[in-house]
Amino acid sequence: MNLIEVVVAAALFLGACSGAAQMGASSAQAMTKGRLQGQQLEQIEAQFLAAAALLRQVEPSSDLTCDAAAQQLHSQLAASLPPVEAGVVRQLSLVPGSIHLQLTLAGEGGLRRQRLYSPAAAGLCGPVSSWSQEGAHAAL
Amino acid sequence: MPRALPSTLPRPLRCPCALQNRRDGFALPVALGGSLLLLLSSGSLQLLALHNRARVVDQQRHLQVEDLLASAAQQQVAALVTQANCLLAVDLAQWAAVAPSCGLGEDAVAALQQGQVGGQGYRVAAYRPAAGAAASAELELQLTGERPWRAVYRLGLAPAAASTAQLQVTAVQELGLRGARA
């Protein structure tokens, strides 16, 4: 064993250690981000499940116009959806020019889901002809 | 005359200096082996992280397709209930024949069989009211983009309170995606 061999071996090992440390840090960061996104996806799914549960519970009625039913459904959804945790943003709004509600949930890293809900699909209103689908097309 | 030594003596005995030479060069192989081990294990971790990320992205894409189709179903059901109520009890294949009796023209029927949601087109692939007295129907929608995913929804139907001649949809139940078919 001479000095040159020891120096070459040490340099090789140190280089490998440095590379492995960088790759390990990068992997840990990616796994943390993936875990966070997975948790946010679960939270977002819980919001949609809560909305679906509410829609199953509402009593069918055709006393209201679809516009009024959409307003009522908006209030009910806003009151019954569970709170979102930090990092997730929820937006529930009426789509202008239509009877649809739009629930949008966004998380970190470009995570975003949105769904339309219609009171007519939950039995909350009946035949009307005073709305158009253009508003929904433009909004989504 | 002395006898010749046998030629099958063990190596160390034949050349004792070989063991010493082997000890001299151990640092480089050990460093090489250790380095390879380190790089392999960190590479495995990297692969695991990449796999995890790909799984999350794939799951997210799948959920977004579900959202698009669920939104399309809500939009389609609302259009049927409010604009073409008489077609709720009619199979898709009969819509064109029945529509004139409800005051709907060809254009209206064609518009009812397709739509757009979230910048993505879709079409009604099937609409099947349940046979007999069962008050339900199945609505099948298909995206018209590069990946034509399909989803089926079961609609609960009931006579409208305002007029028993009309129907209303009481619930929309997702029966799941049916996968993309090229």
Measured CA distances, A13 to A26, B33, B46, B112 (Å): 20, 9, 20, 69
Range of the domain at B134: 64-180
> For residue B132, is it within any domain?
yes
- pLDDT recorded at residue B10: 53
- pLDDT recorded at residue B71: 96
B75, A116: Cβ pair inside 8 Å? yes
- CB contact at 8 A, B170 and B147: no
**Strand-strand pairing, A101-106 and A89-94:** antiparallel
Q: Give the start-end residues of each E strand in A1-140.
A: 89-94, 101-106, 112-117
Query: Which residues of chain B are under the pLDDT cut of 50?
Result: 1, 181-182
What DSSP character marks residue B115? E
How large is the angle between the packed helices B27-83 and A3-57, nearest 10 degrees?
A: 20
- pLDDT recorded at residue B114: 93
pTM of the model: 0.80
> For residue B143, is it within any domain?
yes
Q: A-chain residues within 8 Å CB-CB of B104? A: none
> For residue B172, is it within any domain?
yes
**SS3 state at B160:** coil
> For residue B44, is it within any domain?
no
Compute the nearest-CA separation of B3 from chain A (Å).
39
User: Which residue has 């003596």 as its token pair?
Assistant: B9
A13 touches chain B (CB under 8 A): yes
**Strand-strand pairing, B167-180 and B120-129:** unpaired
- CB contact at 8 A, A57 and A96: no
Q: How many domains does chain B have?
A: 1
Q: Which residues are A36's β-sheet partners?
A: none
Q: One digit per residue, pLDDT tens: chain A, 140 residues?
A: 688 889 999 999 999 999 999 999 999 998 888 888 888 999 999 999 999 999 888 877 767 888 899 999 999 999 999 998 888 999 999 999 889 999 999 998 888 999 999 999 988 887 754 334 444 444 44
> For residue B105, is it within any domain?
yes
- pLDDT recorded at residue B102: 85
The answer, yes or no, to whether ipTM is higher than 0.90 is: no
- pLDDT recorded at residue A130: 38
Which tokens is A102 given?
Answer: 């739009």
> For residue B8, is it within any domain?
no
